[in-house]
Amino acid sequence: MPSLTDEQRAALASVLATGPRVRKLARQFERAGHEFYLVGGSVRDALMGRLGNDLDYTTSARPDEIEALVRSVTSAVWDVGREFGTIACRIREDDGSEWVVEITTFRADSYADHTRKPDVIFGDHLGGDLIRRDFTVNAMALRVSDAELLDPFGGLADLVTEVIRTPAAAELSFSDDPLRMMRAARFVSQLGFHPDPEVVAAMTGMASRITIVSAERIRDELVKLLLTDNPRPGLNLLVDTGLAEIVLPELPALKMERDEHNRHKDVYEHTLTVLDQAIELEKARGHEPDLVNRLAAIFHDIGKPRTRKFEPGGKVSFHHHDVVGAKLTTKRMQALRFSTQETKSVAKLVELHLRFHGYADGEWTDSAVRRYVRDAGDQLERLHILTRSDCTTRNVRKAQALRRAYEELEWRIDELAAREELESTRPDLDGTRIMEVLGIGPGPVVGQAYKFLLERRLEDGPLGEERATRELLQWWAARES
Ligand code: ATP
Ligand code: MG
């Protein structure tokens, strides 16, 4: 068993030294005679030097008492699920730091008695709580009173060797909550760890058990996986174990495909590369991790298996795979209970992902560019990212040519937008104001005055009402004389 490095010890000490209000919270539990531990992802992340603003605790106190104790420190308290024993609160320290704290009553070791299985049984000791956590690296606890690390399942060793392993037997753990199989894939991507062979074997053998889990919980884990910096290994694990076949069958279906040139590169590999590139571009263009962008990358070619045709001469075609893909995307995202907004956005991107390909063949007219912009609507930036990412050819010159062509298109969109903005520019005073200022009725003079003001505006930019009025009167006086 590895012992803590000085660095890890210091990291743990510094979590416990978080501001005075968080410390006061811990004291309240100890004074009331309760055990109080920092636990789960918080301990893991502290040890990895990547603790965010979440602090998860577990305690011997029951939910009602947790709430009373928490209220003595902060009034920002909410109920995450009293029946599950979780109370949450927000604590602001004077230095401006802000913590979202979740406190959960010890769960009992539900593996002890598999015949009687209520959803949640509260327990009286830490050990029972830790064994029913998902993975060993998430099953360590830090006793707040004396900074002692409690690690009955070797989580620290697995953290060092970067392994995802269950505290109890993997099959037992996954049958207790099949969602843990999805979580394994998520942590493989989020932490960059490897799944223990026993975990992979259990996932493979029990994949079909995921069907008892609600679509919403499955979706939430899938979202967390997709929003990591490196979804590829987690997605591969889902596909290799057969879980993807159930939760996202369109993805493994891509594996059977050869690319357009019928070479040995399948659409599945291409799709993962597009996702990698979309994530890189997302960063390069200054965006936060973007779910719609990532889903569009995953789904952009799912219409291919259904539309594949072997043409005479050995060619393969995928006519209308964009339209078919958009339909399949909508169906899958609805089944996974994604919001209407997200579903529409991703489906639109899938449907438009080929549109650019006509561009390289010949220069688009302004109206073709305008239509592209109009059809993309508020998804234009994401369409730029998807279309650019969709180029995965190893032919450097071809890739470069495509990149240049797309650059040119983006440039033309900007230029056109600027020009059209210019065209829609109006003078500072409209016809009615001009007639009021000059004290005249409708007639050709109003048009001349309008043109004068428009020229002045194009020359100098917005003049403002007062200056425009003054210049209009000067123009009028000069004209009269
Ligand atoms: P992050 O917050 O970075 O997503 P986390 O490890 O904190 O990761 P949460 O989903 O916040 O994950 O869960 C908090 C802790 O609760 C986990 O570390 C784990 O100990 C436990 N846990 C969560 N979900 C499960 C589950 N389905 N089965 C068993 N234990 C779980
Ligand atoms: Mg957490």
Would you say residue 300 lies in a domain? yes
Mutate to test the pocket of ligand 1, among 43, 47, 56 (most ligand atoms within 8 A of CB): 56
The alpha carbon torsion through 55, 77, 72, 83 (nearest 10 deg) reads: -80
Given this model, what pLDDT does residue 19 score?
A: 87
Distance 99 CA to ligand 1 centre (A): 17
Tell whether 285 is covered by a domain. no
- Determine the distance separating the centroid of ligand 2 and the alpha carbon of 458, expressed in angstroms: 56
Ligand nearest to the CA of 183: 1
For the CA of 213, the nearest ligand: 1
Ligand 2 center to 141 CA (angstroms): 14
Say yes or no: 55 and 143 in one domain. yes
Predicted local distance difference test score (pLDDT) of residue 366: 83
The answer on 451 and 406 residing in a single domain is: no
Domain range enclosing 414 = 291-424
Which residue is listed with tokens 């004389």?
Answer: 481
For atom 20 of ligand 1, which residue has the closest CA? 40
Pair 444, 379 in one domain: no
User: In this structure, are residues 234 and 189 in contact, taking their beta carbons and an 8 Å threshold?
Assistant: yes
- 136 located within any domain: yes
439's torsion region: left (phi>0), alpha (psi -120 to 50) or beta? left
pLDDT for 260 equals 53
Position in ligand 1 atom list of the atom nearest CA 132:
29
Residue 275 resides in a domain: no
Last residue of a domain, one of 119, 142, 161: 161
In the reported structure, the alpha carbon of residue 153 is separated from the centroid of ligand 1 by a whole-number distance in angstroms of 16
Q: Does residue 185 belong to any structural domain of this protein?
A: no
Residue 405 CA, ligand 2 centroid: distance in Å: 44
Regarding whether 118 and 97 lie in a shared domain, the answer is yes
- Give me the residues near ligand 2 (ion), CB cutoff below 5 Å: 41, 54
**What is the CB < 6 Å shell around ligand 1?**
40-41, 54, 56, 133-134, 138, 177, 179-180, 183
From 84, 138, 186, give the residue whose CB has the most ligand 1 atoms within 8 Å, as the site to mutate: 138
CATH assignment of the domain containing 7: 3.30.460.10
pLDDT score recorded for residue 1:
62
CA gap 53, 453 in Å, rounded: 56
Q: 327 CA to middle of ligand 2, Å? A: 35
pLDDT < 70: residue spans in the chain: 1, 109-120, 256-265, 360-361, 422-423
**Same structural domain for residues 40 and 80?**
yes
- Tell me: do 315 and 353 sit in the same domain: yes
Nearest CA to ligand 1 atom 8: 41
How many domains, the chain? 3
Q: Are residues 125 and 21 in the same domain?
A: yes
Residues 417 and 435 in one domain: no
Q: Classify residue 381: in a domain, yes or no.
A: yes
Task: With respect to residue 460, please indicate whether it lies within any of the assigned structural domains.
Answer: yes
Q: Whose CA is nearest to atom 11 of ligand 1?
A: 41
The reported pTM is 0.85
In a domain, 189, yes or no: no
14 in the same domain as 124: yes
Residue nearest to ligand 1 atom 2, measured at CA? 41
Nearest CA to ligand 1 atom 26: 134
Residue 359: count of CB within 10 angstroms of its CB: 19
